[in-house]
Amino acid sequence: MASPTSVSARQYLGGESRRTVLPGGLRVVTEHMPGLHSFSIGCFVGTGSRNESPHLHGVSHFLEHVLFKGTRRRGPEEISRAIEELGGDLNAYTGKELTCFHAKVLADHADVAVEVLTDMLSRSLLREADVDAERAVIIDEIAMHHDDPAEAASELVSARLFAGSSLERSVIGSEQSIGALSRDQIHGFWRRHYRGPRIVVAAAGMVDHDRLVQQLLPFDEQLAGSRDTARSRPSRVKYQPGSVLVRSRPLEHTQAVLGFPSPGVFTDGVGSAIDERRYPLNLLATVLGGGMSSRLFVEVRERRGLAYAIDAGEGAYADAGGFTIEWGSLPDRVADITAVVRGALTEVVENGITEEELARAQGQLRGQTALAYETPGARMNRLGTAELAGDTRTVTEVLEHYQQVTVEQVAAVAAEVLTVPPVLGVVGGRVNRSRLSGLVERWI
């Protein structure tokens, strides 16, 4: 078998990052952070809900659950106990484009965390009884998500923003799809997608890169045992502009999400060139709704007292993204807030932002980024997600790009994104739907 291939170390924030590709295709990326006593590790699998066909809706999240239910070596209680008795944490999450299993322990117990995670991902039993038990848990989880109006409003908007692609479907699945999934379907999805070239192992903290690579060689060899037969990426988004989606519930409060289609991470959707528009777009989100001094917070909360909080943000997948503005309020204030938001966005489109606002947003992002990546868990997560996506930028390089953004670039992306008729998702108490439709249909 061939030997692992490594690249030279590079500076990554304050520490040193290293990368090695093992013979079977498994990638290992680490950052050594001197002075720490902890070790954070994650196994990032390049598959999520967008890799599912309609009849497998929710299988990625279902598999995440079932891989905790026992291996040839450990029962479910032994899996969690192996980490928790050391004072550590073990968990996982599923997204639209990836699934991650992660652990945090003292550096002295790094070998245990590595062994437990690799055991789960390669030697789980996926017994029929365990699948049925987790099916009931996930259906309960679906009901919990349905009862959260903020999450329900976000799902409404996401489904419309990403219409026509598998991004429109929720990560968790539906009660019907989860109820129909069989053990064989889940097992087949696991064997097709959990292959060496589709997995990144990332670690940060008190990390010995060379030792970790040696520990992972058997895992890499086992994952390389069969061919990667995963599906290619589904069709692109076909956005349907200008709509109001309302779900009335007997609540005293209402959650609203206003969404616009926006650029994905990469210009071609496959990880070769970063879409430069996302830098000014993120700064625009900061100016509009990035904190208590932002335009929308000052106008909606401080001056008018219409809502407790209002936020703006942008999120992106490989080839598509969404720019959103979110708030919660009394039902009879939703239309008034929508009108205020539309006026604020019109002002930005017509007159742009000031140099002072841009400088404040750049400073805010710089400080927030530095604070966000102080912990090894956060750095591990970024290392893994960036490597999986093919994003080779360091955090320092990202911040340098933000510093180079001009007010003209912010104005250009505002004119491009904010003039498209948006989707408004509203969940909660009864609202004036006809007025909301008029506001959205007669957009900027």
pLDDT of residue 9: 54
Query: Which own/partner pairs from 225-228 qualify as long-range (CB within 8 Å, at least 24 positions apart)?
Result: 226/191, 226/195, 227/195, 228/192, 228/193, 228/195, 228/196, 228/197, 228/198
Residue 368's Cβ-side half-sphere holds a number of Cα atoms within 13 Å equal to 13
Amino acid at 16: E
Instruction: Report the pLDDT averaged over residues 315-319.
Output: 93
Domain with CATH 3.30.830.10 in the chain: 15-223, 243-442
| Residue 31 annotated in active site | no
- 130 alpha-carbon distance from chain centroid: 27
Whether the pLDDT of residue 61 is over 90: the answer is: yes
The string of pLDDT tens digits covering residues 163-183 is 989 999 999 999 999 999 999
Whether the pLDDT of residue 229 is over 90: the answer is: no
CATH classification of 15-223, choosing from 3.40.50.2300, 1.10.340.30, 1.20.1060.10, 3.30.830.10?
3.30.830.10
The string of pLDDT tens digits covering residues 234-266 is 456 777 778 999 999 999 999 999 999 999 999
Short-list 266, 255, 262, CA closest to 285: 262
Q: What is the largest CA-CA distance in the chain?
A: 68
More confident residue, 374 or 268: 374
More confident residue, 104 or 242: 104
pLDDT of residue 1: 52
Instruction: Report the pLDDT averaged over residues 99-121.
Output: 98
Instruction: Report the pLDDT averaged over residues 36-53.
Output: 96
- 252 alpha-carbon distance from chain centroid: 30
pLDDT of residue 241: 78
Whether the pLDDT of residue 226 is over 80: the answer is: no
| CB proximity list for 110: less than 8 A, separation 6 or greater | 39, 41, 203, 206, 207, 208, 212
Whether the pLDDT of residue 294 is over 70: the answer is: yes
Whether the pLDDT of residue 72 is over 70: the answer is: yes
pLDDT of residue 43: 98
Instruction: Report the pLDDT averaged over residues 274-303.
Output: 97
Instruction: Report the pLDDT averaged over residues 357-364.
Output: 98
Whether the pLDDT of residue 231 is over 80: the answer is: no
Instruction: Report the pLDDT averaged over residues 313-339.
Output: 96
- What secondary structure, in 3-state letters, does the chain show? CCCCEEEEEEEECCEEEEEEECCCCCEEEEEECCCCCEEEEEEEECCCHHHCCHHHCCHHHHHHHHCCCCECCCCHHHHHHHHHCCCCEEEEEECCCCEEEEEEEEHHHHHHHHHHHHHHHHHECCCHHHHHHHHHHHHHHHHHHHCCHHHHHHHHHHHHHCCCCHHHCCCCCCHHHHHHCCHHHHHHHHHHHCCHHHEEEEEEECCCHHHHHHHHHHHHHHHCCCCCCCCCCCCCCCCCCCEEEEEECCCCCEEEEEEEEECCCECCCCCCCECCCHHHHHHHHHHHHCCCCCHHHHHHHHHCCCCCCEEEEEEECCCCEEEEEEEEECHHHHHHHHHHHHHHHHHHHHHCCCHHHHHHHHHHHHHHHHHHCCCHHHHHHHHHHHHHHCCCCCHHHHHHHHHCCCHHHHHHHHHHHCCCCCEEEEEECCCCHHHHHHHHHCCC
pLDDT of residue 312: 98
Instruction: Report the pLDDT averaged over residues 101-117.
Output: 98
* 243-442 CATH fold: Cytochrome Bc1 Complex; Chain A, domain 1 (3.30.830)
Instruction: Report the pLDDT averaged over residues 79-83.
Output: 97
Q: How confident is the model at residue 10 (pLDDT cuts 50, 70, 90)?
A: low
Do the beta carbons of residue 208 and residue 215 sit within 8 Å? no
More confident residue, 148 or 12: 148
The string of pLDDT tens digits covering residues 198-224 is 999 999 999 999 999 999 999 999 997
The single residue of 31, 64, 299, 326 carrying the catalytic annotation is: 64
Residue 246 has φ and ψ, to the nearest 5°, of: -120, 130
